[in-house]
Structure 1
């Protein structure tokens, strides 16, 4: 029962955060990862080298770099772990913590400079440097912002499905 509830919860929240804190490669789910043989072909195929195997399961390390959604991991996988079409985003988005330099009156815009979708922008503030504003709609969860942050203030959180009431 616990496994089913965990899978249902992950599906409903869009969560692909592993219990040990890592993230699956794009498009991989708790259900599809069960097909993984741990061969490591996805690790070898990743041009940015952000995929590693933890307990024979592919895991993303955004401290190493970003996901470019090239689809090489999916193309090289001999199992049915990845979706048929390469994913174009993760089921998570960036979150900027309070220890961000810019939020603490130190000029830094490293995350904005590397964001490929301009999801991170900076707005003016009286008496201090610009402050970061994250637009979660264009954020693909690629992780480009994570490795460049000097204070490791950026993490990922699961996208949530909002229900509109009529």
Structure 2
């Protein structure tokens, strides 16, 4: 193996993680390959985030926790990083939101908190007979900021790919 290159498979095995963790949300403008190649785990991006949504996750890489707040795309995480991990030429996130069947509106309870919180207006509500309006996601407008996730009282919203989103 080349010097300076980690064998993440062996490292995962020895630490009890048998599969690499790739389902977590990484900071904006980062991709798995850049993190694996350049991230030192210094935590500068964690300290710089004014929204306090970046934390150090498993494998010493930063990850996003949308349960408390949203990403405002301020760029302070990218500015604070001393390594070439962030690429502001890329789209900030590759995900959109996805809603589960736990959604209050899906269960017949009136709720539009996700639509009210969405700064891009990507979540709209379509009327239905005999029940509350159902949320509908315009994936092209969704920035993946996570504003809807923290406000959902049913905890029914998570990040997903544009193919899996059915909000």
- Does the TM-score normalized on the shorter chain lie above 0.5? yes
Q: 1:48 aligns with which of 47, 51, 58?
A: 51
Larger radius of gyration: 2
| Counterpart-to-counterpart distance in 1, 2:117 and 2:46 | 23
CA apart distance, 1:32: 0.7
**Take 2:89 and 2:60, find their aligned partners in 1: how far apart are those partners?**
21
2:124 paired residue among 121, 125, 128: 121
CA distance in 2 between partners of 1:134 and 1:158 (Å): 12
Structure 1: gaps (5+ residues): 1-17, 161-166
Summarize deviations over 1:30-51 as a string: whole Å, max 9, x none: 1110211111110011011000
CA apart distance, 1:158: 2.3
1:79 paired with 2:83, answer yes
Corresponding residue of 1:6: none
> Given the alignment of the two structures, is residue 68 of structure 1 paired with residue 108 of structure 2, yes or no?
no
Change in CA separation of 1:88 and 1:47 when aligned onto 2, cut-off 3 Å:
farther
**Structure 1 residues 26-45: aligned runs within 5 Å:** 26-34=28-36, 35-45=38-48
Structure-2 separation of matches of 1:88 and 1:28: 9
Residue 62 (structure 2) aligns with = 58
Pair 1:111 & 2:114 matched: yes
Moved over 3 A (4+): 86-89
Provide the residue aligned with 1:100 in structure 2.
103
Asked if the contact 2:30–2:92 (Cα under 8 Å) also holds between the matched residues in 1, the reply is no
Maintained 8 Å contact 1:69/1:86: no
Question: Residue in 1 aligned with 2:145?
Answer: 142
